[in-house]
Homo-oligomer: A and B are copies of this chain.
């Protein structure tokens, strides 16, 4: 590839810059970033890409443009690049939900311009280019979206691209993608935020200092609940329909546990607690985590 443009150079955008440069996947890397703070950081980090102020400079003759911004910024950016983008350039993104954002893309992107969607499953609770790294996507899943109108040549191109990056790729449609991630990612994040909010409410009402005793469980949720709020608001809103179904299922099950506890229904609760343990073994077998015990992280 001759030229790639990364729009939005935070945690994942900067990781792409680093990986593309390290693996020599493109000859030239351009970076478009609207945050002045991030630009200062990128300069200080000497990331191997050219920071541009005019989008046109990055878009012109690009082989690939990767949107790495929160999804709520897609529309304004699309309206800008429509003016000079060529049908020869392929656009992709790393957004965590697909159905609603695809509607925005379809509605606002100039006809004839190609955008095929990706979702690398990588990240952390931290934001910003200083936390990016060149092995961020290594051996991680990258979902490629294939809907009815998806161009197969583009899909193949992206498949090769993400494999070069180091990802394992898998192809599915938007609908299946958004359903799966409503359960494996979006609901867990919402639940973590909600748990921390409940602890805050409790602390305020009881006037206890309880956060210092968070090592028994709350600590781990607070890490997830420290994730970027703009990104997560966008995901929650974008995958609204699936997420609301997931919330309803979660509340129904929690009420089931509440009943078990209230009536000390030993058989029912043990059956559930034993069954959920099995998922853990599956996750380790699938190499999504390691089996070494975790006693909490310490210095």
Where the two chains meet, the residues of A that have a C-beta atom closer than 8 Å to any C-beta of B are 96, 121-126, 131, 133, 136, 139-141, 143, 176, 179-181, 183-203, 206, 208, 210-226, 229-230, 232-233, 236-237, 240, 243-244, 246-247, 249-251, 253-255, 257-258, 261-262, 264, 266, 269-270, 272-277, 279-280, 282-283, 286, 288-290, 292-299
Contact = CB atoms under 8 A, between A and B. Distances in A.
A280 B194 contact: no
A213 B187 CA distance: 13
Contacts of A230: 270
Given A176-B208, A212-B141, A283-B211, A262 B288 contact: no
Nearest to A124: B293
Contacts of A222: 276, 279-280, 283, 289
A197 B280 contact: no
Nearest to A177: B213
A215 B122 CA distance: 8
A295 B121 CA distance: 11
Contacts of A223: 220, 280, 289, 294
Given A193-B272, A232-B273, A236-B257, 9 more contacts: A123-B295, A176-B208, A183-B202, A185-B216, A194-B257, A211-B279, A222-B289, A230-B270, A233-B266
